Amino acid sequence: MDQAIAPLPGRKSCATSSLDFHYCKEIHMSGHSPSVDYTSQRERVALARLERVPLDWRMMGILLTLGMAVLFDFADQLSLSYVAPSLRDRLGFEVSNIAQLTSATLLGMMVGGALGGRIADRFGRIRVLQGGVLLGSLGTLSFAFIQGLPEFVALRFFTGWALGALYIVAITYVIEISPPSRRSTRTAFVSFFGTTSVIVVATLARIIIPMSPDAWRWVFALGGLGLLLTIPLKFLLPESPLWLMSRGRHDDAEAALNSLDRSPEPVDVASLPLADSSGDEKEAERGKWADLFRGGLLIPTLLLMALWSFFQFAAQAMSVWFPTLLQLRGYTGEDLLNTAMIGSIGGPVGVLTMMIAMRYIHRWIAMVFVASVAIVGAVLLALAPSPEVLAIGALMMFYSGGAFVPLIDTTTGGQYPTHLRASGMGFTFGWGRMTSVLGPFVIAAILTQLGAGPFPWVLLSAWAMIALVSVLLHARRKARNPGDASEASVTHAGDRSAASDSTAV
């Protein structure tokens, strides 16, 4: 920049970068005195520039790449559930062995989510995304060659570690590069790909598994195709500008912003909220897990830990154990796969409806509505007098599992400032995985000792708790921000969002 504006107090020059220039020019023209913290206001400029980032070919390519990464992540988790009957028939696995494999996956995702988020806050989002895709794809590919339980358990843990980190950082990245007013819809867009994995895996299992006794191995082998995503992750995705700013790398943040926002027009800094950020600077100096349990973050973190625990238990129980539930009710072969495939349609439908619904209703209302649909679905599963009613109940359960994903992702990401966002999301997500590690053993014990009967009532109880915690989160937010009209707003550490989500993706 060869243009110069009057320097800010304490600064030798006001045009050291375009971020500085945008800020200084607007301050100079508006007559405002820069009495607020310079770094905090510079972050507001970045958010304002992100707000006008268009949905052009580059942004669509970024969202599609992240969506495909999430698809492979979800597909790995679901593939075990559809292959489980074949593992019991071909390798002699018991229900308790399936529980061990599921728990190993959840334990790995717990560790990966927590540590991956922390690593991403220290070293960047893109590095963790690349590593997660690479290691996760190789791990899934290796399942095709397993011969026994011990190596399978070890590989499930290793792959879960990589995919747990991948998912958390992918959602964090989407939030940080999206226009603040469109974070919910773009998170839902990426999550949509994850929920379509239910259809993809169910369809592939329906086609591949009946081909031969060992054809189930190909369901896992196809997961290796995720390696192809390392190419666009390397060359298409810029590092998160907000993360770069939180690390003091303002020139790199400017370059990343310029790759997303190519408008030459300066932003209207005078219209942005001005607030003293001295408290934020202290938080930035710490940037530790302990900060999640301090001050205003304590109660939201505890509530989110509970929310993730109940949701992951309910979602995993349905996705992993539904084929086994059908088997215990007498469904076999193609009938089992057909019923499971019909139910799986609900996931992506749920995400699509949330992309529309979040334009018009508060997020907490959507969360309670989705939980209510799941409760009705659980009742139908429990009392189903016919296969058709059973399929409808399963469709409602999968619908709720898919619809709740973007809601809980955006809710969690909106609770934390940039320098703690991945850590906060990773920790609460990881906590949910930790508490759900015991879930498969609980479900296995119920199915073994009591049969399929109590299973839907357990799911109903979990979704009832999800509805309760969602209401408590909303009440906590309204108590702290009585004038806040939308759950979509972000109020921490200089991050802000429009009062409601935009109607555009």
Distance CA 216, CA 229 (A): 24
The residues, ordered by sequence, that sit 6+ positions from 478 with a Cβ below 8 Å of its Cβ are 484
Q: Please give the structure tokens belonging to residue 118.
A: 């922390």
Of 18 and 241, which is predicted with more confidence? 241
Q: pTM value? A: 0.76
* Residue 280 near residue 449, CB atoms below 8 Å: no
Length of the chain: 505
pLDDT(77) > 80: no
Average pLDDT over residues 477-504: 44
Q: Please give the structure tokens belonging to residue 160.
A: 């879960």
The residues, ordered by sequence, that sit 6+ positions from 332 with a Cβ below 8 Å of its Cβ are none
Residue keyed to tokens 């991948």 = 166
pLDDT band at 270, cuts 50/70/90?
low
pLDDT of residue 480: 66
pLDDT(357) > 70: yes
Q: Please give the structure tokens belonging to residue 256.
A: 């990343």
Instruction: Please state, rounded to an integer, the average pLDDT across all residues of the chain.
Output: 77
Average pLDDT over residues 246-273: 76
pLDDT band at 319, cuts 50/70/90?
confident
pLDDT band at 440, cuts 50/70/90?
low
Percentage, residues of the chain above pLDDT 90: 16
3-state secondary structure of 3: coil
pLDDT of residue 80: 83
Q: Please give the structure tokens belonging to residue 121.
A: 């806050």
DSSP line for 421-484: HHHHHHHHHHHHHHHHHSHHHHHHHHHHHT-STTHHHHHHHHHHHHHHHHHHHHHHHHHH-TT-
Of 451 and 383, which is predicted with more confidence? 383
Distance CA 131, CA 504 (A): 32
C-alpha angle 51-56-60 in degrees, rounded to nearest 5: 95
Q: What CATH fold (topology level) applies to the domain 57-240+286-480?
A: Growth Hormone; Chain: A; (1.20.1250)
Average pLDDT over residues 61-86: 85
pLDDT digits 0-9 by tens, 226-257: 878 878 877 788 999 989 988 888 889 888 88
pLDDT band at 264, cuts 50/70/90?
low
Residue of 330, 313, 352 lying closest to 190 (CA atoms): 352
Within 10 A of 128 (CB to CB), how many other CB atoms are there?
29
pLDDT digits 0-9 by tens, 138-168: 988 888 888 888 899 999 999 989 988 998 9
Phi-psi region of 196 (alpha: psi -120 to 50; beta: other; left: phi over 0): alpha
Residue keyed to tokens 């950082």 = 169
pLDDT band at 374, cuts 50/70/90?
very high
Distance of CA 398 to the CA centre of its chain: 17
What amino acid occupies position 270? A
C-alpha angle 333-88-101 in degrees, rounded to nearest 5: 120
* Residue 119 near residue 140, CB atoms below 8 Å: no
pLDDT band at 482, cuts 50/70/90?
low
Q: Please give the structure tokens belonging to residue 109.
A: 């995702």
Domain boundaries, the chain: 57-240+286-480
pLDDT of residue 268: 64
pLDDT of residue 232: 81
pLDDT band at 269, cuts 50/70/90?
low
The residues, ordered by sequence, that sit 6+ positions from 194 with a Cβ below 8 Å of its Cβ are 67, 70, 71, 73, 74, 405
pLDDT(298) > 50: yes
Residue of 312, 295, 279, 302 lying closest to 105 (CA atoms): 312
Average pLDDT over residues 63-80: 85
Q: Please give the structure tokens belonging to residue 233.
A: 């992750």
The residues, ordered by sequence, that sit 6+ positions from 173 with a Cβ below 8 Å of its Cβ are 66, 125, 126, 129, 237, 240
Q: Where are the alpha helices (DSSP H) in 179-275?
A: 183-208, 216-221, 230-235, 241-246, 250-260
pLDDT(126) > 70: yes
Average pLDDT over residues 337-363: 79
Residue of 185, 166, 180, 173 lying closest to 226 (CA atoms): 166
pLDDT(499) > 60: no
Average pLDDT over residues 476-488: 57
pLDDT of residue 333: 59
